Amino acid sequence: MQDAQTFASWGVDYLKYDWCFVQQSTWQIDAYTRMSRALNATGRPIYFSLCSWGINDPWRWGAKVGNSWRTTADIAPRWDSIMSNLELNNGLAQFAGPGGWNDPDMLEVGNGGLTLNEQRAHFALWAAVKAPLIIGTDIRSLSNDTLNILKAKEVIAINQDPLGVAAERVWKQGALEIYAGPLMGGDRAVVMFNQHANGSQYAADNITVYWDNIGYPGNLEVMVRDLYAEQDLGVFTESFTAPVEIHGVMALRLTPVDNETSVAVNDWLPWDNRMDLAVDKLNGETPMPPEVASPTSNEKLCISSFGFNCTGFAPSNCSDPDCSYHLKVSEPLSELASTAGRRLKALAGGWL
């Protein structure tokens, strides 16, 4: 509590709470809940970033405690590191939304070891999946090319779209991929991505996005816009094809020409296309931890902050019924985090 009050007195807006080499016997949800409550008690809106490297599936409970949660190990300014974090973040789009975001770690745009194509791809993909766009380089020494990437306003607009639905990988064939997600008003964010190795025989490959992969009827007339070039490419039906350079992307915004049709295509979600995604769904809603059944006697039953049975998920010494950071099972689980994650207004995209 004292730390939170100090942060608030300093005017802190963002707190990243790391989980570096904490003993296995420590139950991390309680530690994050403790700080979440302390931050709420200060009365200052402080963005709370959870960093457990994806351990214990923070995407399943993080939105009740903080505003974003790391889904991966630490990133590095290397292409293989960026691709590893992107891959680990795949399949998690349905857990993100306004106020709580998947975080595959900060941007490496501007750091050595990345080509210009790789920096553009990194920024566009992070923007599309609604990751927090945290600059991870020395802004005093940015090149003009790097600065232009970080200031790409139409790419940033995809990240900040008020609908708040993260893009997902909706198509993959060999080294070619397409990430897509819905935007407010029926538009689509589409990132066509070429992962072929540098030094390959061909400098670019054609990639085609088909309307049925992004929830559009084939006969729909759609304006396609290049977000980095800030230029309309024309009106298309059924599909759009373009060459994409190795380790590069084409970041697009697709807008139905007919405004009335835009409303009709608003209900598409990108994970509907993931035939390889095996997730538990509860009545079509985002999966959440199950509640623990009420005890059959008057005994106190200690449960973890979000309904997990302590003995099944946490260390055995976590079963103390008098623990101040646990609830008796007779108390409503929803009360625990009624304000957690609501320190800020509903945010669209990984706002800092």
Smallest CA-to-CA distance from 174 within 201, 197, 190, 191 is with 197
Encoding tokens for residue 332? 């409503």
User: What is the per-residue DSSP string for 180-226?
Assistant: EEE-GGG-EEEEEEE-PPTT-S-SEEEEEEEGGGTT--TT--EEEEE
User: What is the per-residue DSSP string for 230-271?
Assistant: TEEEEEESSEEEEEEETT-EEEEEEEESSHHHHHHTTT--GG
- Give the separation between CA 206 and CA 58, rounded to whole angstroms: 37
The strand pairing partners of 193, in sequence order, are: 177, 249
CA 352 to centroid of chain Cα atoms:
13
Q: Is 161 a catalytic residue?
A: no
Across the beta sheet with 168-173, what order do the strands follow?
A: 168-173, 176-182, 188-194, 249-256, 222-226, 231-236
Find the catalytic residue in 13, 74, 145, 272: 74
- Give the separation between CA 333 and CA 322, rounded to whole angstroms: 16
Find the catalytic residue in 3, 18, 212, 320: 18
Show the DSSP H helices in the chain as ranges: 2-9, 28-42, 79-89, 116-128, 144-150, 153-159, 259-264, 310-313
The strand pairing partners of 101, in sequence order, are: 68
Q: Decide: 73 and 89 in contact? Cβ < 8 Å.
A: no
Q: Is 80 a catalytic residue?
A: no
User: What is the per-residue DSSP string for 293-306?
Assistant: PPPSSS---EE-TT
Please identify every residue annotated as catalytic: 18, 74
